[in-house]
Structure 1
Amino acid sequence: MNIRLDEESDLAELAALYQHTVLQHGPQHYSLVQTQTWASFAENLDLFRHFIFDATTYVATDETGIVGFAGIEINGHIRSTYVRGDRLHQGIGSMLLQALLDDAAAKPVTRLYAEASEFSLGLFQKFGFRLYDTEAVDFNGVAFTRYLVEYLAEGSVER
């Protein structure tokens, strides 16, 4: 397994991974309409490009290609954590989240935060993120509930 920074040439493969994973595993936690709406985000490559490249995005690869990715913004917002559907529960998400924690530790970031899905909530909690709220959001006319999680670096003041 290799963890590296994203490259422009990764975009199509990252979009396909995102869409496939959501379509494959979304129905376990979300309605068909929610799953299809969520997956459709990857079809707009201009928006998806910003999603990936407007953050520091780490990519996990092995001999089969890209198996996951995770991105973090300069302010500590974790923008993405996705693992290829056939590689879930193999430690890839943990490796990627650790890369984000290491990235933040090298910068003056004292709080990391994310809007977790049913998919990723357990991963964040495994790494010591705490659930502090939920929010209802609308994406293309479809309602979603997201879990607001945060991780406070040592010495930070809790909210």
Structure 2
Amino acid sequence: MKMPLHIRPLARDDYRAVGRIFFYAIHEGTKGIYSDQQRRAWGSEAIELDRWKARLDHLNGFIAEINHEPVGFFTIDREGYLDLAFVLPSVARMGVGQALLKNVEQWAKDNGATQLTTDASLVAWPFFLKNGWHVTNEEHVERNGVTLTRYKMQKSVR
């Protein structure tokens, strides 16, 4: 049975939901790909609500809801950089990420971007690849003394 999915613009008051989605996507959704140490370095030990409240002041994007419950969010800037792309593990592979990506790509086009870019995790890069993006570079970044692998990716949106 398909659940009704609602996509709406991200709002400042979504910081609690965004923090929760980010935390569970990192700590549960990347198990088996990243070590415990890597997940803690990337997603911290707890949901940092103050950090998310301040960060949402400067982000554009969309949040996905199923039955009025936030389940995923993607952010995009005017240059076409997709900074955050997270979905709760409980709804992974159910079309939530696809719907959010469609919305951020359209928003980018509407706001004059011709190229989309992102830094995709080991978990996210196959999703982007399937959606017409390509890898431009693999990089290893340090977070809190721990090395993480990610992929610089891009896609034209003319």
TM over 0.5: yes
Contact 1:55 1:74 in 2 (8 A): no
Equivalent in the alignment of 2:98:
94
**The structure with more helix, counted as a fraction of residues:** 1
Alignment of 1:1-159 (within 5 A): 1-40=5-44, 43-63=47-67, 65-154=69-158
Rounded to whole Å, the distance in 1 between the matches of 2:81 and 2:34 is 24
Q: Which has the higher contact order (CA 8 A, sep 6+)?
A: 2
Rounded to whole Å, the distance in 2 between the matches of 1:42 and 1:73 is 27
Rounded to whole Å, the distance in 2 between the matches of 1:106 and 1:41 is 38
Equivalent position amino acid for 1:79 in 2: D
The change in CA–CA distance for 1:12 and 1:144 in structure 2 (over 3 A counts) is: same
Q: Gaps spanning 5+ residues in structure 2: where?
A: none
The change in CA–CA distance for 1:41 and 1:134 in structure 2 (over 3 A counts) is: farther
Rounded to whole Å, the distance in 2 between the matches of 1:132 and 1:41 is 31
Q: Gaps spanning 5+ residues in structure 1: where?
A: 155-159
* Count of residue correspondences: 154
Rounded to whole Å, the distance in 1 between the matches of 2:6 and 2:77 is 21
- Any idea what the Cα deviations from partners look like across 1:107-130, whole Å, max 9, x if unmatched? 211111000011211111121111
- Structure-2-length-normalised TM-score: 0.90
- Any idea what the Cα deviations from partners look like across 1:43-97, whole Å, max 9, x if unmatched? 3334333544422120000115001000001111101111111000001000001
- Structure-1-length-normalised TM-score: 0.89
Equivalent position amino acid for 2:156 in 1: L
